[in-house]
Amino acid sequence: MRERTPVAYIPDMATPLVLLDVDGVLNPFSRPHRGYRRHRCTPEGITYRLWLNAAHGPLLLDLAEGAGAELAWASFWKGAANEWIAPRVGLPEMPFVPIPRFPGLEEGHSLGAWKARHVAPWTKGRPFVWFEDEPDATVRIAAEKDIGPHLLVAVDSETGLTGDHLDRAADWLAALTR
Ligand SMILES: [Mg+2]
């Protein structure tokens, strides 16, 4: 009888998550500084022009590897981030939070709170760091019950992800495992 190669990927539920937003985090809204290039992405035929930095992927991979954490998308790009964003910033294909379409401000939701409401249960009690530019995400995540230890790193959407944000995340993750 031939030996079977195990192929199933079973994530360790205690492994911390590093959650990553795209717009306002990897893609700053103002014309950014050195290292960024303009990209044209067309998911489902809709054109978006983004600033992306190819140095971000390796830095995020270092962060995750150093902390024994798992990277995942927490963005309205959802799975499309794997096709359109990951290869342009040097990230592999990653799991993503299946955030439903934003119902709109008129329904009484805010964008950040909507995201946080769907991010929280997806983490299933695992510790997580979340790089996010929507300020309301912080308020909403603080109100969530049954979530693990977490750090929301508030990113300024005009300038996007910086080394300071990554350092804060690394320090917090290191303290978690001590
Ligand atoms: Mg954003």
pLDDT higher for 177 or 125?
125
CA of 7 to the centre of ligand 1 (A): 34
Q: How confident is the model at residue 94 (pLDDT cuts 50, 70, 90)?
A: very high
Residue-wise pLDDT tens digits, 35-49: 999 999 999 899 999
> Is the pLDDT score of 72 beyond 90?
yes
User: How far, in Å, from the CA of 26 to the mean position of ligand 1?
Assistant: 9
Task: Provide the 8-state DSSP code for 15.
Answer: S
| 8 Å CB contact between 27 and 157 | no
DSSP H or E segment with residue 154: strand 150-154
Q: Which residues contact 21 (CB under 8 A, 6 or more apart)?
A: 74, 75, 130, 131, 132, 133, 134, 155
Question: Residue range 40-68: average pLDDT?
Answer: 95
CA of 65 to the centre of ligand 1 (A): 24
Residue-wise pLDDT tens digits, 96-143: 999 998 888 776 778 999 999 999 999 999 999 999 999 889 888 888
Distance between Cα 20 and ligand 1 center (Å)? 9
Where residue 59 falls among pLDDT bands split at 50, 70, 90?
very high
Q: How far is the CA of 99 from the centre of ligand 1 (A)?
A: 13
Name all domains of the chain by residue range, CATH numbers in brackets.
17-177 (3.40.50)
